[in-house]
Amino acid sequence: MSGDYTGTGTRGTGRGRLRGRGRRWAATTGAAALATVVLAACGSSGDTTATAVPGGTGSTAAGGSGCHSGATNLTFWGWSAGYDLVVKKFNQTHPGICVKLENAGAAGDEYVKLSDALKANSGTPDVAQIEYFELPSFEITKSLVDLTPYGVGDARTNEAPAAWSQVIQGSAQFAMPVDLGPLGLYYNSRVFTQHKIAVPATWSDFAAAADKLHAADPKAAITNFDPVDAQDVLALMQQYGAFPFTYSGGDKLGINFTGPAQTAFANLWQGMIGKKEVSTAADFSPAQWANLDGGADAARISPAWGPVGMQGSIKKTIGDWRAAPMPQTQAGQDLEGNWGGSTLAVVKGGAHAKEAATFVKWFGGSADAWRILSGDVAGAFPAYTPLLNSPAFQSRTLPISGTSQPNKVFAKAAQKAEAAQWPPIMTAVLTQWTSTFAEVTKGTQTLPQAFKTFQQQMVKYAKAQGFTVTEG
């Protein structure tokens, strides 16, 4: 297909969240290779969380401590902070299984290595951390073990529907949910009060608030909108009711960046971009933090994991930030979006699927695991509903939010969100996105124009890989 697949869309080492443009999403050849493997298989069938363990693209081992003699050994590839502590707890409480955590690289780096190992039929782990949006790419190549025969489905009653829906395909379950990133409007209460801005209930209210703020202070913006951050934009599109992909398995794929809802979304944000009522700094960049801390940006469209990282990057406005529900396309709606989150999947080819299934079920669906995952080291936002519903969890405070309780807003959003239908071409989506949408940041193309261009690029690409594509 035409177009540049050597972009620099990037992702950090925490909750599956993009972190700006500082490092490559994956090596150029690796990302292209992964996309080719995934799509060829289909055609033939018809912000600041540290890594849990040291190391980059090498397989640095950690965990394994607390194991008992004679235990079944499992290898687990994962990168998020706190995972080593959870593994240690599992090994202590499950004497028959010994899990060794290895860092095979964060996110895209891991996916390329995992794809290579699967192709070579050598060196695959028993368990791998895989973000929700990447699961279909491994499902379509039949690389993951169906967990249904091992009773992992029993965990469903304790998982948020949006998380559970993203790990099943038909009657099969291909992963265990861990965390989520439901969106909320995280606003500077001092700035809102100063300019007499009410918390917007609808996106029309939001645009009107942007007009009011910018009229009062031409240097101020209502929020930041980074066109190059694909996951951020896609999460917003989901919340707006304009998610551009439909996919339920097989070789049929819907791609729609130019329908009425998608066009309305693009026009809404382009209107604010054109009037300089939103900033377009790279997400998680020093410029974004400076705008938020200096009052130039009055709000942040934030995932639930955002405030923890944000408070480590600002100083002047600690205590001023409050969480509110997302604006709606129409009054009375309750549409939610999700940005980020990971699963644990059992990789085909291992000799110990039963033990691996026991591990992933416990990891994502036990109180013992979540006492660590939701703690200060890991900071994961749960898909695990006993914790989401816990008054103690919902009443937690953060220095950045003063005495307010942001988890109440995010927990409700997590329970109400619907699952996104991620396509099995997300490697191509993320790499192409960077170059196409950079034109919006530069001002050489509008957001509606970029949507039209991207529509053409993705449809051509998907068809070339053997998908039957539906547009609109």
CB 302 within 8 A of CB 184: yes
**For 397-418, b where at least 16 C-beta lie within 10 A, e where not — what string?**
ebebbeebbbbbbbbbbbbebb
- Quote the percentage of the chain above a pLDDT of 70: 86
Pairing of strands 97-103, 72-77: parallel
Query: What one-character DSSP code corresponds to residue 227?
Result: T
| pTM, to two decimals | 0.86
CB atoms within 10 A of CB 54: 10
> What's the length of the chain?
472
CB 7 within 8 A of CB 432: yes
pLDDT in tens, 144-192: 999 999 999 999 999 999 999 999 999 999 999 999 999 999 999 999 9
Question: What pLDDT score does 376 carry?
Answer: 81
For the chain, domain boundaries: 43-180+340-416
H or E element that contains 471? strand 468-471
What three-state secondary structure class fits 155?
Answer: helix
pLDDT in tens, 428-458: 999 999 999 999 999 999 999 999 999 999 9
Which CATH number among 3.40.190.10, 3.90.1010.10, 3.30.300.30, 3.40.50.300 corresponds to the domain 43-180+340-416? 3.40.190.10
Look at 274 and 378; give whichever has higher pLDDT: 274
Over residues 64-69, mean pLDDT: 75
CA gap 313, 242 in Å, rounded: 31
CA gap 74, 76 in Å, rounded: 6
CA gap 134, 425 in Å, rounded: 8
Question: What pLDDT score does 108 carry?
Answer: 86
Radius of gyration of the chain (CA): 21
- DSSP codes joined into one string, 156-217: GGGB-HHHHHTTEETTEE--EE-B--BEEEEEEHHHHHHTTPPPPSBHHHHHHHHHHHHHH-
CA gap 450, 120 in Å, rounded: 38
